[in-house]
């Protein structure tokens, strides 16, 4: 059986030229990346909702705090041990790892990177840790796309081109945003791109987005509770000071994350595998406090549910302030503590 799989690349090379193989692999990559990104999205939500149901049923008892802190800590323990002993590339968002593979290793990535990223992303984010799925989706889909290119016997240049193909397909499926996915690839990874590669990227992005819509239906990622006719009202002047404040907040977030990551890395007496556990305990403490005060659980996991409610005007200013402070702090800590997840 092993010999059969090893002979597939040479069999494909004999029957199809490189251009034909590249387009065919881009189509397959779009399909599989769309399925993988959708499975990660769906799996995180299912696991978190399942665990959170147990925690919420114990509200008002000490068991609520045991579960609220225990689930993220357990997820951190599994991720900490896995990344320390088996999958160091699954630490962090996965975007830097993807860039390194593209520029330093000609786009060659192992399928095991994507498998580890998928499994650990489900566990870490599903258990309530507050990082995002954007980075893991990019890493997972890029490794899958690269592996497909290698298995199809593509040229070295074409295999490298499969990395942005997978990145774009993953973003398109993760956020239901095919046009933004193409823009993201150029902003984040590419300086220039040949036309054939661009065609493959567009094909994969469209197919991945179609797969996501077939699974979840046609819907925006967020729903704004704003009437179109009110968009030119005077309240839009608030965007000016709001932009200034969020700009400073973004810089503070960046400096805080990088500074804390350097500080934790310098702690020689603290094992690396234990850091995600401590991060998970802190997530449970902060998230539990915010939930007790606001009845919003957006500090935990991805938090898109509360964000969607806030955009619809269903969350009070006090609750949004508490969510902002809590999420700001725990995301910095979890990312610095070698968690497996992105920022978005």
Of 115, 132, 60, residue with least CA distance to 302: 132
Q: Which residue has the tokens 């990019």?
A: 138
Buried b (16+ CB within 10 A) or exposed e, 172-194: bbbbbbbebbbebbeeebbeebe
Q: What secondary structure, in 3-state letters, does the chain show?
A: CHHHHHHHHHHHHHHCCHHHHHHHHHHHHHHHHHHHHHHHHHHHHHHHHHHHHHHHHCCCCHHHHHHHHHHHHHHHHHHHHHHHHCCHHHCECCHHHHHHHHHHCCCCCCHHHHHHHHHHHHHHHHCCCCCECHHHHHHHHHHHHHHHHHHCCCCHHHHHHHHHHHHHHHHHHHHCCHHHHHHHHHHHCCCCCCHHHHHHHHHHHHHHHHHHHHHHCCCCCCCCCCCHHHCCCHHHHHHHHHHHHHHHHHHHHHHHHHHHHHHHHCCCCCCHHHHHHHHHHHHHHHHHHHHHHHCCCCCCCCCHHHHHHHHCCCCCHHHHHHHHHHHHHHHHHHHHCCCECECC
Q: Which residues of 22-44 are buried (b: 16+ CB within 10 A; e: fewer)?
A: bebbbebbbbbbbbbbbebbebb
Q: What are the structural domain ranges in the chain?
A: 2-61+86-216
Q: Which two tokens stand for residue 245?
A: 């404040």
Q: How far apart are CA 118 and CA 113, in angstroms?
A: 9
Instruction: Read off the tokens for 321.
Output: 């302030």
In this prediction, residue 49 carries a pLDDT of 95
CATH number corresponding to 2-61+86-216: 1.10.3080.10
Q: Is the pLDDT of residue 192 over 70?
A: no
Please give the average per-residue pLDDT across 103-129, as a whole number. 96
| Alpha carbons 36 and 219: distance in angstroms, whole number | 19
Helix axes 156-175, 95-104, angle to 10 degrees: 160
* Average pLDDT of span 318-344: 94
6 versus 185: which is more confidently predicted? 185
C-alpha Rg value of the chain to the nearest Å: 21
Confidence of residue 314 (pLDDT cuts 50, 70, 90): confident
Phi-psi domain of 258 (left: phi exceeds 0; alpha: psi -120 through 50; beta: other): alpha
Question: 35-80, pLDDT tens digit by residue?
Answer: 999 999 999 999 999 999 999 999 989 999 999 999 999 999 999 9
pLDDT at 67: 96
- Give tens-digit pLDDT for 207-266: 999 999 998 887 777 766 565 555 556 677 788 898 999 999 999 999 999 999 999 998
Q: Is the CB of residue 337 less than 8 Å from the CB of residue 278?
A: yes
Close Cβ partners of 135 (under 8 Å, ≥ 6 residues apart): 92, 93, 94, 95, 341, 342, 343, 344
10 pLDDT tier (thresholds 50, 70, 90): low
pLDDT, position 269: 86
Check residue 6 and give its pLDDT.
57
Determine the Cα–Cα distance for residues 58 and 37; give it in Å rounded to an integer: 32
Asked if residues 338 and 276 have their Cβ atoms less than 8 Å apart, the reply is yes
Examine the pLDDT at 115 and tell me if it is beyond 90: yes
pTM exceeds 0.75: yes
Distance CA 178, CA 206 (A): 6
């Amino acid at each position: 059986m092993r010999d059969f799989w090893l002979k597939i690349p040479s069999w494909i090379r004999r029957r199809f030229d490189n251009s034909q193989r590249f387009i065919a692999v881009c189509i397959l990559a779009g399909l599989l990346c769309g399925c993988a990104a959708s499975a990660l999205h769906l799996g995180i939500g299912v696991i978190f909702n399942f665990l959170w149901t147990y925690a919420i049923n114990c509200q008002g008892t000490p068991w609520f705090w045991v579960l609220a802190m225990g689930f993220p800590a357990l997820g951190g323990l599994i991720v900490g041990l896995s990344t320390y002993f088996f999958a160091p590339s699954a630490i962090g968002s996965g975007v830097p790892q993807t860039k390194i593979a593209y520029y330093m290793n000609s786009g060659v990535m192992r399928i095991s990177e994507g498998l580890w990223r998928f499994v650990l992303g489900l566990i870490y984010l599903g258990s309530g840790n507050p990082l995002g799925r954007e980075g893991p989706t990019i890493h997972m889909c890029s490794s899958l796309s690269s592996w497909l290119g290698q298995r199809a016997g593509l040229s070295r240049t074409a295999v490298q081109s499969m990395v942005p193909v997978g990145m774009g397909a993953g973003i398109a499926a993760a956020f239901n945003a095919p046009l933004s996915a193409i823009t993201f690839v150029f902003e984040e990874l590419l300086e220039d791109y040949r036309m054939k590669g661009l065609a493959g990227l567009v094909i994969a992005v469209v197919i991945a987005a179609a797969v996501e819509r077939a699974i979840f239906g046609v819907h925006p990622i967020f729903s704004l509770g704003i009437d179109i006719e009110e968009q030119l009202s005077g309240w839009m002047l608030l965007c000016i000071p709001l932009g200034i404040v969020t700009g400073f907040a973004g810089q503070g977030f960046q400096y805080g994350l990088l500074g804390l990551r350097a500080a934790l890395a310098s702690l020689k007496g603290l094992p690396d595998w234990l850091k995600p556990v401590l991060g998970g305990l802190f997530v449970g403490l902060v998230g539990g406090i915010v939930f007790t005060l606001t009845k919003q659980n957006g500090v935990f996991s991805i938090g898109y549910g509360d964000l969607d409610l806030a955009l619809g005007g269903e969350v009070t200013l006090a609750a949004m302030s508490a969510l902002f402070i809590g999420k700001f702090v725990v995301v910095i800590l979890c990312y610095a503590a070698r968690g497996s997840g992105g920022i978005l």
